[in-house]
């Protein structure tokens, strides 16, 4: 994909030209990114590499990856341009030490499959909490310029009526439901960011993402929007029909 794809190149150029992004603050800085091979991580690293190569913003990107060979395949086109990208092999439970000074940390790594949350609620909580604590400590020791945590709209829980949601909206998360492990730990890490900022002066920030779309969706991605994309590419309507039927059945059961 990378620069050879005109649509993707247009996206990268729009990001690079965005007046609200202070790119000059990243000059000669090192960024540490988790969740690097996911949809958001892929686009983020692609944009940073593009800015570094084509907009003369010298920076370094360090990406935490579980499998270096798969990461090299994922970013092969970017690596071929000799972009300033290197990998640190580990996972969210075992983040290896980084010898370089880290100026910016973007923590986007997390289990994202709903089935995983339901089947492994304990692991969902522990992995997210342990990794966030480790990275906040890393930001504290490095006196990093900024720490960014990618949270989720799920922290608001179930919304029972049609209304606009803002950051002050109350949360409706049922803590007695194991599936709530994901939104509950996201809330916990948000609070941890606020506490590190208040007690230790770590410039930690949280953003609550909704559904995210874009280039880099894996063929193996089983989320509903990815199924729709695959169905459209294959000229199939079976997935859409099954989704609508399941949605109707679910609403019918609730009404009953």
Give me the average pLDDT of each 10-residue run along the chain (256 residues). 80 92 95 94 95 93 96 94 94 92 96 84 95 97 97 82 73 85 95 98 94 72 72 71 55 43
Residue 83 is predicted with a pLDDT of 92
Residue 230 is predicted with a pLDDT of 74
Torsion, Cα 157 224 246 152, to 10 degrees, reads 0
Q: How far is CA 9 from the centre of its chain?
A: 21
Angle at 108 between CA 49 and CA 63, to 5 degrees: 45
Closest to 102 measured CA to CA, from 35, 26, 48: 26
- Phi, then psi, of 66 in degrees rounded to 5: -85, -35
pTM of the model: 0.85
In the chain, at which residue ranges do the beta strands (DSSP E only) sit?
29-34, 59-65, 85-89, 104-107, 146-152, 204-209
Query: Would you kindly state where each structural domain of the chain is located, as residue ranges?
Result: 2-216, 217-256
> What is residue 172's DSSP assignment?
B
- Phi, then psi, of 145 in degrees rounded to 5: -70, -35
CATH architecture of 2-216: 3-Layer(aba) Sandwich (3.40)
Residues 201-252 pLDDT 10s: 999 999 999 877 777 676 776 667 777 777 777 777 765 556 555 554 554 4
């Amino acid at each position: 994909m990378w620069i050879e794809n005109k649509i993707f190149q247009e996206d990268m150029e729009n990001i690079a030209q965005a007046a609200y992004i202070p790119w000059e603050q990243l000059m000669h800085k090192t960024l540490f990114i988790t969740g690097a091979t996911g949809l958001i991580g892929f686009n983020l690293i692609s944009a940073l590499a593009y800015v570094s190569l084509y907009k003369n913003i010298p920076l370094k990107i360090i990406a935490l990856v579980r499998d270096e060979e798969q990461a090299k395949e994922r970013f092969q086109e970017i690596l071929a341009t000799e972009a300033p990208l290197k990998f640190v092999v580990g996972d969210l439970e075992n983040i290896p030490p980084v010898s370089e000074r880290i100026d910016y940390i973007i923590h986007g790594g997390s289990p994202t499959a709903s089935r995983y949350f339901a089947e492994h609620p304990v692991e969902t909580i522990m992995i997210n909490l342990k990794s966030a604590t480790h990275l906040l400590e890393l930001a504290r020791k490095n006196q990093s310029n900024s720490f960014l945590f990618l949270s989720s709209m799920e922290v608001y829980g179930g919304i029972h009526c049609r209304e606009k949601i803002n950051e002050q909206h109350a949360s409706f998360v049922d803590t007695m439901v194991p599936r709530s492990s994901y939104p509950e730990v996201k809330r916990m890490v948000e609070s941890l960011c606020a506490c590190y900022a208040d007690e230790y002066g770590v410039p930690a920030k949280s953003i609550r993402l909704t559904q995210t779309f874009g280039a880099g969706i894996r063929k193996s991605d089983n989320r509903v929007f990815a199924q729709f994309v695959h169905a459209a590419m294959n000229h199939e309507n079976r997935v859409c029909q099954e989704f609508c039927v399941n949605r109707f059945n679910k609403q019918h059961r609730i009404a009953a």
